[in-house]
């Protein structure tokens, strides 16, 4: 028996191709993309209404090379942003920040700004649900750290202590979230546990 190109079929000849190990853990998504997909899932299921806050920007200069294509040449932030996400779940206000680090052993507190911490303090004082989602991008580990715990590490740094949170500390005082399919980062499951919503 011959192939259409005229070559003879040889059943003993095997073509060796290198087998690549495929890592499906992250599939190239950033923390923000994963959270946005999760929030969309919550919205479509009628579970929660949580959105990414738009960053207020003042546009100064715009070029119009074509009638249909405007190009922003210069813009400034109108004000310091607060946190990344807010919304409502079971009648409770939710407000949280999302941060990633490439570090393997600790999360640098320099990823936060003073005004963000002040904002989280105000939300916590009003009994809102306030937390931080932290992803170690190299290992795809995700932690939910409640704002009250974050304040302890922030105050430690302000008082001359360590400028980061070690992974060991995170494991001890935060809640691990395992990546899923739908929802991708099921942080509401942790909220249910913490606030006895289940």
Outline where DSSP puts E strands in 152-198.
164-166, 175-177
Contact 38, 187 (CB under 8 A): yes
Is 84 labelled a binding residue? yes
| Tokens standing for residue 12 | 């003993």
Residue position matching structure tokens 């499951």: 189
For residues 50, 52, 53 and 58, what is the CA-based torsion angle, rounded to 10 degrees? -160
CA atoms within 13 A on the CB side of 51: 4
Q: Confirm whether residue 116 is marked as ligand binding.
A: yes
Q: Is 95 annotated as a binding residue?
A: no
Sequence ranges of the binding site:
82, 84, 97, 116
Sequence ranges of the binding site for Mg(2+):
82, 84, 97, 116
């Amino acid at each position: 028996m011959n192939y259409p190109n005229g070559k003879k079929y040889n059943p003993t000849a095997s073509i060796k191709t290198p087998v690549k190990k495929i890592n499906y853990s992250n599939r190239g998504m950033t923390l923000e993309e994963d959270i946005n997909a999760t929030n969309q899932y919550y919205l479509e299921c009628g579970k929660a209404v949580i959105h990414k806050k738009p960053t207020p920007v003042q546009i100064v200069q715009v070029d119009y090379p074509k009638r249909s294509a405007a190009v922003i040449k210069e813009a400034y932030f109108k004000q310091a942003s607060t946190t990344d996400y807010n919304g409502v779940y079971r009648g409770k206000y939710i407000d949280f920040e999302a941060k990633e680090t490439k570090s393997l052993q600790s999360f640098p507190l320099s990823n936060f700004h003073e005004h963000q911490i002040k904002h989280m303090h105000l939300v916590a004082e009003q009994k809102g649900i306030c937390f931080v989602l932290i992803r170690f991008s190299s290992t795809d580990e995700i932690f939910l750290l409640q704002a009250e715990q974050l304040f302890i590490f922030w105050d430690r740094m302000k008082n001359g202590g360590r400028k980061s949170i070690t992974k060991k500390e995170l494991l001890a005082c935060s809640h691990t979230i395992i990546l899923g399919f739908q929802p991708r980062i099921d942080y509401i499951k942790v909220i249910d546990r913490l606030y006895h919503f289940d």
